[in-house]
Structure 1
Amino acid sequence: MILKWTKTLLLVSLLLLLVQPALAQVDTSQYQWVEVVSGLENPLLVTNAADGSGRLFVVEQTGAIWIIQDGQLSQEPFLDVSSLLSNDVFRGGYSERGLLGLAFHPDYETNGLFFINHTDVNGNTVVARYQVSADDPNIADPASAVTLLTQQQPFENHNGGNLAFGPDGYLYIAFGDGGSQGDPQVNGQNTATWLGKILRIDVNADTYTVPDTNPLVGQVDAKPEIWAYGLRNPWRFTFDRETGDLYIADVGGDNTEEVNFQPAASTGGENYGWRVWEGYDQRTQEQTNGEPVPPVATYPHSDGCSISGGYVYRGEALPDLQGVYFYGDYCNGRIWTLYQDDAGAWVSARSAWTPGQFVVSSFGEDEAGELYLVDYKGVIYRLEAVS
């Protein structure tokens, strides 16, 4: 249905009140980003295997995965899939293709399985499973690759790429709307395609199965893997490790970047509005499949141009940051904090860190829940208190 403008204006007014920075803010001036390692090539992601090893794994867009252990970068990559990527990933300049995502199986410590999301030599998306080698825990077995799914990409951009296991043990996969400008194929609202969606699959099979509880299972012409839709390019989404809530940072079009929220109790099927809605603004008079869910925080393109979603802090080293979600902008390096106050209102604010220090491609967390920042210029930082 098309939302009436009177209802829309009331909704927008309410939401703007919820994100006003008039409430108590997080004092980020008490914290600093401390360099962990440098010398990486276009890093996009840092994560951990939750296997008790304390290692961090860094994904480079150009196809290598490196290990950080005891503050040192490994001498050889954990895995290198550069030969599987298209040439444009290596030619310099801006590209949204490459090795884009990495997630470790919840039982990685015992089964050694992990999953990657990359574009292939033709620019299409591939999600594949790999296994660590039998002889060396710091080297994966490239021959173990099993393709779970592929998706043809109509354009070069908006590939999504994130992978993450939810608290339910299922693998969640982000797809952008297929690219170009303005979602010309209207993929975001089309449940017959994976494009513009987050999928949820069960990978405890030869390839995968679809959970019976997925929201579109049994619907005619709908892809049963779909968990949420109406997304433009959900570059990074993460689960709050304590609550199970899902935060989806969706890269905007002409005007607005946004953070979407899905509570842990959700049964899926949320429509986040794209391409009919961008932020709190209705772009077109097209129908949406049900009433869209508005974002919990936005910022205009006067403040940046490409959101990089982060994590809710759940570490122990910085107790005053408990429950605070961090996100940033790739274009200018600005970083924000976001949390719900005691009344349930969303409070978002710019951090005290000077824009331009970083090219924020992603955030990450270690096994202890400490927060990291990935600088596309080749550096990994950890958030620490100012001494």
Structure 2
Amino acid sequence: MSIRRNLLTAAAVFAGLMSSGVASAQTLSTKLFVAGLARPIFITQAPGDDSRLFIIEKQGRIRIFNTETGTLNSDYFINLDSIITGGTSTSSEQGLLGLAFHPDYQNNGYFYVNYTAVAGGGDTVVRRYSRGADADHATTSGALTLLTINQPYSNHNGGMIAFGPNDGYLYIFTGDGGSGGDPGDRAQNISSSLLGKTLRIDVDGGTPYAIPPSNPFASGGGEPEIWNYGLRNPWRSTFDMANGNLYIADVGQNSREEMDFQPADAPGGENYGWRCMEGASCYTNSSGCTCNASNLVDPFFTYGHNSSGGYSITGGYVYRGCEIPELDGTYFFADYGTSNFWSATRNKNGTFNVQSRTSELRFSSDGGGTLSNIASFGQDLQGEIYICCQSLGRIYKIIPASGEVDCGPGPIPGDFNEDGLVNGADLGFFLSQWGQPGGAADLNLDGIVNGADAGILLSNWTG
């Protein structure tokens, strides 16, 4: 383990010692990153391409922000408005809701979207599209539908999709189908419903997909796509890019919001409790399931429906960037209704320490205004974190309170400490990142730190 990694770990432990709700010294801020968008609800990058950030506009469009020119492309990457229902207002839970690029996007050009369709009156569709003749445009030719899931109501559609950094499988997060109180008990139904679940499929193993053999119900006992269940509306759920741990932000009913956690080595099949439980409390309409049953997985954090908490949780990301190294491994999340922010650090014993970040993150330091309607977070290939404000049509970036830092690989690829040399000090850091899915040591930006990156480092070796 490198000196840098030891320092990062020590910093994370120090942050974790702070109790929930107690603000730390002002170490963070936000800056306006891009404006002029129509209901932005997600931002991400494609593997191997750090010159473009892809932004979902909920009505059905994906736009590109060019990081080299600092401008928003006038053309859409893809416009799916004609086949999508909803997304035309901030209150709508329908629309274009999720985007994930295939890990081998640079070679196959595949990306996947999750949307509510005009056909079927709002059913959830997960579909594959392809990059077009140039990197700034996609094509609808050859599109492949992977899944269509009937939605009995217009709300609680989930929407997040993401590739697991450790296994390369596609994870699809579904809500319970809507209304209130899950009247069909769909989240607990593993035999005939894909709603209220995390699904896990292999998009490379068959057409349109195959079932991973390690799925908990691959051999029977439930729908084979199910990875975990008991979720109400996991609107934004994400993986830690460094280790594959899964953070699930599940929107509550009338009283509690919750954060769930699944470690990377979990076997699957976890039951997160809805509708037996809302947060860590028994839910009143819990007929058909047992409150506080031993097979239920408790959230690591909940908060109430009030001004100090909120009304609709928005999951974020674990920080793995280089601008704020003392926060490496810190998870950020927020509330859509109150624009409150928190961070969480995981201790060695598996417990979490949560602290408020509202005073640091709600107000932009560059005159970009007050952040509100936090619909989503995003993360770039370097591990930096962005915040989507739906009603403002803006995206902000989390930065150090002292101002944005230009970091990562120096002018010489592999010169991580930017001392003008590529030597043993840089090699120590590089080896500490070996096998990680991305980050500063991923010199060729293919989503993995491996021998190809070592070759780049060694080719610039100065000793």
Q: Give the TM-score normalised by the residue count of structure 2.
A: 0.76
Deviates more, 1:289-298 or 1:222-231: 289-298
After superposition, the C-alpha distances for 1:338-364 in whole angstroms (9 at most, x for unaligned) are 111345431012112348632100001
Residue in structure 2 matching 1:359, options 352, 373, 383? 373
Aligned to 1:53, the other structure's residue is in SS state strand
The corresponding residue for 2:342 is: 336
* 8 Å CA contact retained: 2:22, 2:356: no
Task: List gaps (5 residues or longer) in structure 2.
Answer: 1-15, 364-369, 403-463
Structure 2 residue aligned with 1:368, among 374, 382, 387? 382
Equivalence map 1:84-233=2 (5 Å):
84-86=83-85, 88-90=86-88, 92=89, 94-121=91-118, 122-133=121-132, 135-166=133-164, 167-191=166-190, 192-204=192-204, 205-220=206-221, 222-233=222-233
Q: CA contact under 8 A between 1:360 and 1:373: conserved in structure 2?
A: yes
Which amino acid letter does the alignment assign opposite residue 95 of structure 1? S
1:49 to 24, 46, 50: 46
When structure 1 is superposed on structure 2, of 140-149 and 231-240 the one drifting more is: 140-149
Shift of 1:232: 0.1
Code of the residue aligned with 2:77 in structure 1: it is: F
- Any conservation in 1 of the 2:18–2:24 contact (CA below 8 Å)? no
Task: Please report how far the alpha carbon of residue 23 of structure 1 lies from its aligned counterpart in structure 2 after TM superposition.
Answer: 7.4
Instruction: Judge which range, 24-33 or 310-319, deviates more.
Output: 24-33
| SS of residue matched to 2:145 | strand
Q: Is the 8 A contact 2:19 2:355 kept in 1?
A: no
2:335 maps to a residue whose letter is D
Task: Quote the residue 1:258 is aligned against.
Answer: 258
Give the structure 2 partner of residue 235 of structure 1: 235
CA distance in 2, matches of 1:39, 1:111: 31
Is residue 78 of structure 1 aligned with residue 77 of structure 2?
A: yes
Q: 1:128-186 deviations in whole A, cap 9, x for unaligned? A: 000101x2111001123111110110000000010000020000001100000000000
Instruction: Measure, in 1, the Cα distance between the counterparts of 2:172 and 2:95.
Output: 16
Equivalent residue for 2:367? Answer: none
CA distance in 2, matches of 1:61, 1:23: 33
Q: Distance in 2 between matches of 1:28 and 1:55?
A: 33
| CA–CA separation in structure 1 for the residues paired with 2:81 and 2:21 | 47
SS where residue 54 of structure 1 aligns? strand
Q: Give, in whole Å, the separation in 2 of the partners of 1:24 and 1:193.
A: 38
| Other structure's SS at 2:320 match | coil
Cα RMSD (Å): 1.9
Q: Is the 8 A contact 2:45 2:380 kept in 1?
A: yes
- Alpha-carbon shift at residue 89 of structure 1 (Å): 3.2
Q: CA deviation at 1:94?
A: 1.4
Distance 1:295 1:325, change over 3 A: same
Determine whether 1:348 maps to 2:354.
yes
Matched letter for residue 47 of structure 1? T
Indicate the percent of aligned positions where both proteins have the same amino acid.
44
Q: Which amino acid aligns with 1:208?
A: Y
SS in structure 2 opposite 1:232?
A: coil
Q: Is the 8 A contact 1:26 1:321 kept in 2?
A: no
Give the corresponding residue for 1:287. 289
| 2:60 alignment partner, one of 58, 63, 68 | 63
Mapped to 2, the partners of 1:95 and 1:34 lie a distance apart of 27
Structure 2 CA distance for partners of 1:195 and 1:316, relative to 1, 3 Å: same
Which whole-Å CA distance do the structure 2 matches of 1:109 and 1:250 have between them?
32
**Change beyond 3 A, Cα 1:330–1:323:** same
Q: How many positions carry a matched residue from both structures?
A: 365
Post-superposition Cα deviations, 1:237-291, rounded to whole Å, max 9, x if no partner, equal: 1111112100000000111111100000011000000000011101135325971
Where is the strand percentage greater, Structure 1 or Structure 2? 1
| AA in 2 matched with 1:94 | S
Moved more, 105-114 or 26-35: 26-35
Measured in 2, the distance between the counterparts of 1:320 and 1:188 equals 38
Q: Who wins on radius of gyration, i.e. which is larger?
A: 2
- 8 A Cα contact 1:256 1:298, kept in partner: yes
Asked if the contact 2:182/2:275 (under 8 Å) is kept, the reply is yes
- Indicate if the aligned counterparts of 1:20 and 1:348 stay in contact, CA closer than 8 A: no
Distance 2:51 2:299 in 1: 34
Q: CA deviation at 1:24?
A: 11
Does the aligned pair in 1 maintain the 2:65–2:71 contact within 8 Å?
Answer: yes
* Worse-matched range after superposition: 289-298 or 71-80: 289-298
- Name structure 1 gaps, 5 residues minimum: 1-18
Name the CA distance, whole Å, in 1 between partners of 2:135 and 2:19: 49
d(CA) in 2 for partners of 1:228, 1:196: 9
**In 1, Cα distance between the equivalents of 2:300 and 2:95?**
30
Equivalent residue for 1:12?
Answer: none
